A and B are shown apart, each in its own frame.
Chain A
Amino acid sequence: QQQVKQSPQSLIVQKGGISIINCAYENTAFDYFPWYQQFPGKGPALLIAIRPDVSEKKEGRFTISFNKSAKQFSLHIMDSQPGDSATYFCAASRSDKLIFGTGTRLQVFP
């Protein structure tokens, strides 16, 4: 069963545009929602994370928006750059392990 659903599977954005990746979860016991970024040939690395007691978290050009009632959260990348081209995974956790989404491959063209 897919406890964390992620879309789109791939995304092409022009430099300077906004990239938006969406995730939805089912288990209301999840209490931590991180996003991981993976460059080709590398392991994933934590990018940004949010707890369900806040609706938004911003770190530089990266913002997580969280809608607890809809059980949805999204990653927004403002002013997308070619260096942001990577695969992005959302995840959800409840204290012991992470459940990852299926990933979104983002390509940012100059």
Chain B
Amino acid sequence: DADVTQTPRNRITKTGKRIMLECSQTKGHDRMYWYRQDPGLGLRLIYYSFDVKDINKGEISDGYSVSRQAQAKFSLSLESAIPNQTALYFCATSDYYGTGQETQYFGPGTRLLVL
């Protein structure tokens, strides 16, 4: 089984709808991240969480919210989806050892289309 899973893998929704993307991990990592990937823009950080009680905004958090339900689960919500939120969304995890050399492990991605 994959260490980092994302559901759904593909989603089509309409403008104004609320949707949730879910991420689960079996790596036992404390740190979890949500990114979006757009052609020519690379990976941009939406939100990140260093433990269950810690939530931080990333570079592009407007229009998004997150919930860290447990160490293993981190969900991303679009409260009212708009077409420019059409993108590929990735969840990632990492374990921090204080060396500054953490590796992030990415899920397979969710392709979202907002009509």
Which A residues form the contact surface with B (CB < 8 A)?
A: 6, 9, 31-32, 34, 36, 41-46, 49, 51, 89, 93-103
- Contact in complex: A97, B58 (CB < 8 Å): yes
Which listed residue, B44, B58, B106, touches A43 by the CB 8 Å rule? Answer: B106
Q: Which residues in A have their C-beta under 8 angstroms from that of B103?
A: 34, 46, 49
Interface size class of B (residues with CB under 8 A): 20 to 34
B48-69 contacts to A (CB < 8 Å): 48, 50, 58
- Distance A101 CA – B44 CA, assembled complex (angstroms): 9
CA gap between A85 and B78 in the complex, in Å = 33
Taking a contact as CB atoms under 8 Å apart, the answer to whether A46 and B104 are in contact is yes
* Residues of chain B lying within 8 A (CB to CB) of residue A99: 45
Complex formed: what's the CA distance from A78 to B72 in Å?
39
